[in-house]
C-alpha cells in the first residue's frame, strides 16, 4: 500500500530509497562525493516525522557547519512543514552548547559560561606561556595551543597526559604546567574553549549517568553527516548517546523541573538508532584529530549495522568525475569505489599556467567575466585555494577587474579587534566571572589603566577573595591613584547600567531590543565610539562602520528571536564558523580555502595554485599520511564543481617577500590528459621566454602585458568602489530552539486577569493581562513593590496564590 512518506522517496534511486526507509539500530551510508548523502539524511529526518515514528524532539541530526545545519533545517521544513521545528539539527558544537547550558551547573560552571574561540584561547595561552617562561623550552603559544587542542580531541587532560609523558624532560613538565594552568583559568573564568564544548559534554555524560540518561531517552534517532571527519571526542559523544539507558526510571531528575522536552520517552527504551554518512575519500581533518577509523570500524562498533552504498553522482559531469576518480585512485589502502553519472561528459576541464600568481588571477578574473556574460550567476562561481595567504593576489586583481567577490572565512568579521572589544563588553555583562573579557576592555578605549594597575586589581581581588569584576566596583579600596580610581569607577558604572538593561531579573522578559540598546549604551558611554571618531586614522572610520554593523546584527537578532537573551546572542556569535558568512554571498564570487569548501557545490569552480608545496602542501610532506590527505583535499575541491572545472597554477609565486619558482602539482599528472584542455600549459610558459627570468619579469607591474591574456594588471587601476565589504556579513544562523538561562517549567499554569501571584524576586503582584499562546504566554503583572513586569509564564519563578 502507499506509504505516508511516498512523496519523500520520489526521484530517489533504489539505494537512496533504502537509506531513507531502512529501520534498525545502526545504518552506515558510505558513498562518494555528490551521491546524495546529505540529501538522503535530510529525507530520512523528514520520513521519520511524516510516518510519525518519531517526535521532532526525538531526532538529533549533526552536520559539519552551521550553514549546513541551516540548509538541512530549511529543507526538512520544505518537505514536511511546521513539525520540523523542534528537531535538533546542529553542529557538534552547538548541540553540546545546548546541553551544557542546561547542565553545566552539575559540575562547577554556571549556565552563563563564555565560549572561548580560538583567538581567545590563544590570548590566554600566550599569557600563560609567558608566565611559565615556557618559550625557553620552545613552546610557542601557537604550538602549545595546537598540542592542547589535539589532546583534548583525544579526551586527554593535563593529568592523564602527565601520566603517559616523560616527566623527567623539563620541556614536558612545563607543557603540563601550562596545560593545567590553562584548564584552571578556563574554569575560573567560567569558560569553555571549543574543544571543551565536546570534551566536557562527554565528561558530563560519563560522570553523571542520570544526566546522560535524560538525553539517551530523549534522542531516539541520531544522524551524523560527514562522519569521516569526526574526531575521538565526537565519536565518544555519539557513543555515549547511543548506549543503553543505564538507570531504571530516571524520573528523579525529570521531576526536578529540568525536563522541558515536549515528548515523553517510553520507559527504558532501546538504545537510540544511529545513522552515519560519510566518504573516507573526503577525510580532510586528520590535523584536527579526525579519525578515519571511525567510519572504517563502524561495523565493528555497531555490530549488525546495515551498510548502504551510493554510487550514482548527481552533481558533476562525467569529465569532472573521471578526473576525481583518477586522482583519488592513487591513494592506497582505500576501498575502490567508482562514481558515475548520466548527465554526460560535459565541458573539458580547463588548465592554465600563469607566469606569476597575478597572471593566474588575471586569467581567472577574465574567465569569470566571460562565464558571467554567458549567464552564470556570480554566486554560482567559486575560487578555491589551499592557504589563506593565496587570496591576496586574487583579491588585488578582482578589485581592479571589478569582479564582485566575497571571502569566506579568512578575514572574519568577528575576529576584528573592535568587534572583539565590543563582544568583550557584552561578555563582561553576561558572565562577570570572565576575567579575560574584563582585562580586554579595561583600557579600551584608553583610560590610563596599564598592566601595573591591572595586576594591582588582580592582586586585590585575590587577596579579598572576590572576582575581578567585584574589585572594579570597589575602586577606592584597590590602592590606585585618584585619576585611575575615577576611571575604574566610571567603567564600573557603565557596566552596571548596561547590565540593568540587558539582564532582567529571572523570568522577566527583556524587551527584544535590550541587547542592541545595551550595546549602544556601552559603546557610547564607555567612550569607545568617541575615541574612534576623534581619531585621524582613516581605519578608525572603518571601525566605527564595523561597530555599527554589529549593532545592526543585534537588531536583526532581536527581530528573529523576540525572546532572545544576551546569552543567546553571544552563543550564536561564538558558534559562527567560517562557512557561515556564505549567507551573504548572493551576487558575488565565493573565495575560500579547500577546507571550507567541504559539502558545497557550484556550477563553476576554479582550483588555484595547483603546485607542489601548495597542494600537496609543504608541511604535509613530513607527516605520515600527509600527501594522501592532501590528495583527498584535492578530490574534495574537484568534486564541488557541477559543470565547469578550472585548474590553474603559476610558475613563480611571491610569498612572504620571496619569489619562488613553482612546480606543477603531482596531482595534475594523475588526471588523464584527454580530460584536460590547457589554455596555457606549463610547457608553454617555459618555452616562451627562458623560464625564470622571464617569469620573474612578468610579476612586475606592467611587465605582464603582451602575453597570456594580454591584460596589464599593473597600473590601470579600477576604482575600488565595487569591492564588497569582505567578511562584514551580519546574518547569523537562527537556532530553532533556545535554552533559557534559568529553566523552570511551570507547564500549563493557567493565569487570568485578576489572579494574584508571587514571584521569587519581585514579591506579590496582580495579573493585569495575559497575552500570547502556548509556551509563549506572557503575564503582564503589576507588582505591589516592583511595578509592571512582563513575565514568560512557562519559565518565570512564580506561583499562583
Binding string, residues 44-63; x marks residues near ligand ATP by CB under 6 A: --------------------
By C-beta, is 33 or 265 nearer to ligand ATP? Answer: 33
User: Is 616 among the residues that bind ligand ATP (CB under 6 A)?
Assistant: no
Is-contact 178 130, C-beta < 8 A?
no
What is d(CA 180, CA 215) in angstroms, rounded to the nearest whole number?
30
Among 516, 595, 578, smallest CA distance to 729 is for 578
Q: How far is the CB of 639 from ligand ATP (least distance, A)?
A: 6
What is d(CA 542, CA 725) in angstroms, rounded to the nearest whole number?
10
Is position 401 annotated in a ligand binding site?
A: no
Residues 6+ apart with CB under 8 A from 669: none
Is position 33 annotated in a ligand binding site?
A: yes
Long-range residue pairs from 294-299, CB within 8 A, at least 24 positions apart, any chain: 294/227, 294/228, 294/230, 294/235, 295/28, 295/30, 295/227, 295/228, 298/26, 298/28, 298/227, 299/28
Active-site positions read 37-38, 225-226, 282, 640
Name the segment binding ligand ATP (CB under 6 A); options: 36-44, 144-152, 432-440, 469-477: 36-44
Is position 31 annotated in a ligand binding site?
A: yes
Q: Which run of H or E residues covers position 589?
A: strand 589-593
What is d(CA 156, CA 176) in angstroms, rounded to the nearest whole number?
12
Is-contact 521 498, C-beta < 8 A?
yes
What is d(CA 388, CA 401) in angstroms, rounded to the nearest whole number?
21
For residue 792, give the 3-state DSSP assignment.
strand
Number of residues this chain uses to bind ligand ATP (CB under 6 A)? 19
By C-beta, is 29 or 796 nearer to ligand ATP? Answer: 29
Name the segment binding ligand ATP (CB under 6 A); options: 37-45, 181-189, 250-258, 463-471: 37-45
Backbone torsions φ then ψ of 88, nearest 5 degrees:
-80, 105
35's contact among Mg ion, ligand ATP, none, with CB below 5 to 8 A by partner kind, is: ligand ATP
Q: Return the residue of 15, 26, 28, 35 that touches ligand ATP, per CB under 6 A.
A: 35
Name the segment binding Mg ion (CB under 5 A); options: 190-198, 386-394, 555-563, 591-599: 591-599
What is d(CA 571, CA 592) in angstroms, rounded to the nearest whole number?
25
Among 233, 277, 353, 263, smallest CA distance to 19 is for 277
36's contact among ligand ATP, Mg ion, none, with CB below 5 to 8 A by partner kind, is: ligand ATP
Q: How far is the CB of 91 from Mg ion (least distance, A)?
A: 14
Backbone torsions φ then ψ of 12, nearest 5 degrees:
-85, 150
User: Is 588 among the residues that bind ligand ATP (CB under 6 A)?
Assistant: no
Q: Return the residue of 33, 502, 550, 585 that touches ligand ATP, per CB under 6 A.
A: 33
CA separation, residue 522 to residues 501, 567, 699 (Å):
11, 16, 48
By C-beta, is 234 or 282 nearer to ligand ATP? Answer: 282
User: Is 599 among the residues that bind Mg ion (CB under 5 A)?
Assistant: yes
Q: How far is the CB of 299 from ligand ATP (least distance, A)?
A: 20
Q: Return the residue of 117, 193, 279, 517 that touches ligand ATP, per CB under 6 A.
A: 279
Residue with C-alpha cell 499562583?
Answer: 800
By C-beta, is 220 or 643 nearer to ligand ATP? Answer: 643
Name the segment binding ligand ATP (CB under 6 A); options: 31-39, 291-299, 654-662, 728-736: 31-39
Q: Which of residues 285-304 bind Mg ion (CB under 5 A)?
A: none
Q: How far is the CB of 283 from Mg ion (least distance, A)?
A: 13
Q: How far is the CB of 598 from Mg ion (least distance, A)?
A: 8
Number of residues this chain uses to bind Mg ion (CB under 5 A)? 3
Q: How far is the CB of 738 from ligand ATP (least distance, A)?
A: 28
Q: Which run of H or E residues covers position 543?
A: helix 538-560
| Number of neighbours of residue 554 by Cβ within 10 angstroms | 25
By C-beta, is 38 or 620 nearer to ligand ATP? Answer: 38
33's contact among ligand ATP, Mg ion, none, with CB below 5 to 8 A by partner kind, is: ligand ATP
Peptide bond into 445 cis (omega under 30): yes
| Number of neighbours of residue 583 by Cβ within 10 angstroms | 15
What is d(CA 788, CA 769) in angstroms, rounded to the nearest whole number?
11
**Which ranges constitute the DSSP H helices of 431-467?**
435-441, 451-464
By C-beta, is 315 or 543 nearer to ligand ATP? Answer: 315
By C-beta, is 279 or 359 nearer to ligand ATP? Answer: 279
Is position 37 annotated in a ligand binding site?
A: yes
Chain centroid, CA 669 distance in Å: 35
Q: How far is the CB of 37 from ligand ATP (least distance, A)?
A: 3
What is d(CA 532, CA 536) in angstroms, rounded to the nearest whole number?
8
Name the segment binding Mg ion (CB under 5 A); options: 49-57, 322-330, 558-566, 597-605: 597-605
For residue 523, give the 3-state DSSP assignment.
helix
Q: How far is the CB of 345 from ligand ATP (least distance, A)?
A: 18
Per DSSP, what are the bridge partners of residue 650? 354
559 burial (CB, 10 Å; 0-12 / 13-18 / 19+) is exposed
Q: Return the residue of 34, 616, 664, 704 that touches ligand ATP, per CB under 6 A.
A: 34
Is-contact 109 187, C-beta < 8 A?
yes
Is position 36 annotated in a ligand binding site?
A: yes
Q: How far is the CB of 283 from ligand ATP (least distance, A)?
A: 11
User: Is 599 among the residues that bind ligand ATP (CB under 6 A)?
Assistant: yes
What is d(CA 42, CA 32) in angstroms, rounded to the nearest whole number?
17
Transcribe 11-78 into DSSP letters.
T--HHHHHHHH--SSEEEEEE-TTSSHHHHHHHHHHHHHHTTSS-GGGEEEEESSHHHHHHHHHHHHH
Residues 6+ apart with CB under 8 A from 290: 228, 229, 230, 231, 283, 284
By C-beta, is 15 or 431 nearer to ligand ATP? Answer: 15
Is-contact 606 591, C-beta < 8 A?
no
What is d(CA 639, CA 32) in angstroms, rounded to the nearest whole number?
9
314's contact among ligand ATP, Mg ion, none, with CB below 5 to 8 A by partner kind, is: ligand ATP
677's contact among Mg ion, ligand ATP, none, with CB below 5 to 8 A by partner kind, is: none
Q: How far is the CB of 425 from ligand ATP (least distance, A)?
A: 39
Q: How far apart are the first and last CA of the chain?
A: 56
Is position 382 annotated in a ligand binding site?
A: no
Q: Return the residue of 36, 432, 704, 740 that touches ligand ATP, per CB under 6 A.
A: 36
Q: Which of residues 1-30 bind ligand ATP (CB under 6 A)?
A: 11-13, 16
Beta strand 114-116 with 756-759 is unpaired
User: Is 91 among the residues that bind Mg ion (CB under 5 A)?
Assistant: no
Q: How far is the CB of 51 from Mg ion (least distance, A)?
A: 24
Q: Return the residue of 5, 8, 39, 519 that touches ligand ATP, per CB under 6 A.
A: 39
Q: Which of residues 296-315 bind ligand ATP (CB under 6 A)?
A: 314-315
48's contact among ligand ATP, Mg ion, none, with CB below 5 to 8 A by partner kind, is: none
Cell numbers of 643, please?
559543470
By C-beta, is 92 or 378 nearer to Mg ion? Answer: 92
Q: Which of residues 16-55 bind Mg ion (CB under 5 A)?
A: 37-38
Q: Return the residue of 15, 38, 356, 520 that touches ligand ATP, per CB under 6 A.
A: 38
Q: Return the residue of 37, 67, 337, 439 that touches ligand ATP, per CB under 6 A.
A: 37
Beta strand 273-278 with 26-31 is parallel
Q: What is the contact surface with Mg ion in residues (CB under 5 A)? A: 37-38, 599
Q: What is the contact surface with ligand ATP in residues (CB under 6 A)? A: 11-13, 16, 31, 33-39, 279, 282, 314-315, 599, 601, 639
Binding residues for ATP: 31-38
Binding residues: 31-38
Amino acid at each position: 500500500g502507499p506509504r505516508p512518506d511516498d512523496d519523500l522517496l520520489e526521484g530517489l534511486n533504489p539505494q537512496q530509497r533504502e537509506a531513507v526507509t531502512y529501520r534498525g539500530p545502526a545504518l552506515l551510508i558510505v558513498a562518494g562525493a555528490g551521491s546524495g548523502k546529505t540529501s538522503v539524511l535530510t529525507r530520512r529526518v523528514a520520513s521519520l516525522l511524516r510516518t510519525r515514528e518519531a517526535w521532532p524532539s526525538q531526532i538529533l541530526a549533526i552536520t559539519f557547519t552551521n550553514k549546513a545545519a541551516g540548509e538541512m533545517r530549511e529543507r526538512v521544513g520544505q518537505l514536511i512543514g511546521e513539525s520540523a521545528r523542534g528537531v535538533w539539527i546542529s553542529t557538534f558544537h552547538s548541540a553540546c552548547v545546548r546541553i551544557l547550558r542546561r547542565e553545566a551547573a552539575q559540575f562547577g560552571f554556571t549556565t552563563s559560561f563564555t565560549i572561548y574561540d580560538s583567538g581567545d584561547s590563544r590570548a590566554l595561552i600566550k599569557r600563560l606561556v609567558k608566565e611559565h617562561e615556557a618559550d625557553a623550552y620552545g613552546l610557542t603559544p601557537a604550538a602549545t595551543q595546537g598540542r592542547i587542542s589535539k589532546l583534548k580531541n583525544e579526551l586527554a587532560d593535563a593529568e592523564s597526559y602527565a601520566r603517559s609523558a616523560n616527566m623527567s624532560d623539563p620541556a614536558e613538565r612545563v607543557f603540563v604546567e601550562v596545560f593545567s594552568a590553562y584548564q584552571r583559568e578556563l574554569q575560573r573564568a567560567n569558560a569553555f574553549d571549543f574543544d571543551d564544548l565536546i570534551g566536557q559534554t562527554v565528561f558530563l555524560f560519563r560522570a553523571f549517568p542520570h544526566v546522560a540518561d535524560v538525553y539517551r531517552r530523549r534522542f531516539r534517532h541520531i544522524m551524523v553527516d560527514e562522519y569521516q571527519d569526526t574526531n575521538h571526542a565526537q565519536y565518544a559523544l555519539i557513543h555515549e548517546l547511543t548506549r543503553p539507558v543505564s538507570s531504571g526510571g530516571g524520573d528523579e531528575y525529570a521531576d526536578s523541573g529540568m525536563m522541558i522536552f515536549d515528548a515523553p520517552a517510553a520507559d527504558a527504551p532501546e538504545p537510540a538508532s544511529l545513522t552515519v554518512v560519510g566518504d573516507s575519500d573526503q577525510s580532510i581533518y586528520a590535523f584536527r584529530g579526525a579519525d578515519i577509523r571511525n567510519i572504517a570500524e563502524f561495523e565493528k562498533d555497531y555490530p549488525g549495522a546495515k551498510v548502504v552504498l551510493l554510487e550514482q553522482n548527481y552533481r558533476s559531469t562525467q569529465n569532472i568525475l573521471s578526473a576525481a576518480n583518477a586522482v583519488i585512485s592513487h591513494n592506497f589502502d582505500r576501498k575502490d569505489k567508482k562514481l558515475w553519472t548520466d548527465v554526460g561528459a560535459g565541458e573539458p576541464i580547463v588548465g592554465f599556467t600563469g607566469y606569476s600568481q597575478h597572471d593566474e588571477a588575471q586569467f581567472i578574473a577574465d574567465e569569470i567575466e566571460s562565464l558571467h556574460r554567458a549567464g552564470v550567476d556570480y554566486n554560482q562561481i567559486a575560487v578555491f585555494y589551499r592557504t589563506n595567504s593565496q587570496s591576496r593576489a586574487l583579491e588585488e586583481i578582482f578589485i581592479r577587474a571589478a569582479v564582485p567577490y566575497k571571502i569566506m572565512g579568512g578575514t572574519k568579521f568577528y575576529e576584528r579587534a573592535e568587534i572583539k572589544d565590543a563582544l568583550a563588553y557584552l561578555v563582561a555583562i553576561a558572565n562577570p566571572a570572565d576575567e579575560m573579557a574584563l582585562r580586554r576592555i579595561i583600557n579600551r578605549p584608553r583610560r590610563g589603566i596599564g598592566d601595573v594597575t591591572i595586576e594591582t586589581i588582580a592582586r586585590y581581588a585575590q587577596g579579598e577573595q572576590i572576582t575581578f569584576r567585584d574589585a572594579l566596583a570597589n575602586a577606592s579600596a584597590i590602592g590606585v591613584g585618584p585619576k585611575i580610581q575615577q576611571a575604574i569607577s566610571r567603567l564600573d558604572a557603565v557596566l552596571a547600567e548596561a547590565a540593568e538593561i540587558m539582564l532582567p531579573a529571572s523570568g522577566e522578559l527583556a524587551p527584544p531590543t535590550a541587547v542592541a540598546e545595551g550595546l549602544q549604551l556601552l559603546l557610547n558611554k564607555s567612550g569607545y565610539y568617541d575615541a574612534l571618531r576623534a581619531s585621524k586614522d582613516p581605519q578608525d572610520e572603518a571601525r566605527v562602520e564595523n561597530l555599527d554593523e554589529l549593532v545592526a546584527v543585534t537588531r536583526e537578532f532581536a527581530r528573529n528571536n523576540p525572546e532572545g537573551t544576551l546569552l543567546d546572542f553571544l552563543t550564536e556569535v561564538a558558534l559562527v564558523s567560517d562557512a557561515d558568512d556564505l549567507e551573504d554571498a548572493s551576487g558575488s564570487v565565493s573565495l575560500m580555502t579547500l577546507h571550507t569548501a567541504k559539502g558545497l557545490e557550484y556550477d563553476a569552480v576554479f582550483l588555484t595554485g595547483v603546485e607542489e608545496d601548495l597542494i600537496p602542501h609543504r608541511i604535509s610532506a613530513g607527516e605520515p599520511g600527509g600527501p594522501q590527505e592532501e590528495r583527498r583535499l584535492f578530490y574534495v575541491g574537484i568534486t564541488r564543481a557541477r559543470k565547469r572545472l578550472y585548474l590553474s597554477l603559476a610558475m613563480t609565486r611571491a610569498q612572504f617577500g620571496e619569489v619562488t619558482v613553482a612546480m606543477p602539482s603531482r596531482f595534475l599528472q594523475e588526471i588523464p590528459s584527454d580530460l584536460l584542455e590547457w589554455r596555457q600549459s606549463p610547457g608553454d610558459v617555459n618555452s616562451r621566454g627562458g623560464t625564470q627570468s622571464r617569469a620573474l619579469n612578468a610579476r612586475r607591474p606592467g611587465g605582464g602585458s603582451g602575453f597570456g591574456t594580454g591584460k596589464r594588471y599593473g597600473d590601470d587601476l579600477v576604482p575600488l568602489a565595487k569591492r564588497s565589504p569582505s567578511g562584514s556579513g551580519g546574518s547569523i544562523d537562527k537556532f530553532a530552539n533556545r535554552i533559557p538561562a534559568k529553566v523552570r517549567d511551570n507547564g500549563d499554569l493557567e493565569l487570568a486577569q485578576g489572579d494574584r501571584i508571587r514571584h521569587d524576586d519581585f514579591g506579590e503582584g496582580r495579573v493585569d493581562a495575559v497575552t500570547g499562546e502556548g509556551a509563549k504566554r506572557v503575564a503582564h503583572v503589576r507588582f505591589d513593590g516592583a511595578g509592571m513586569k512582563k513575565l514568560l509564564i512557562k519559565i518565570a519563578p512564580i506561583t499562583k496564590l
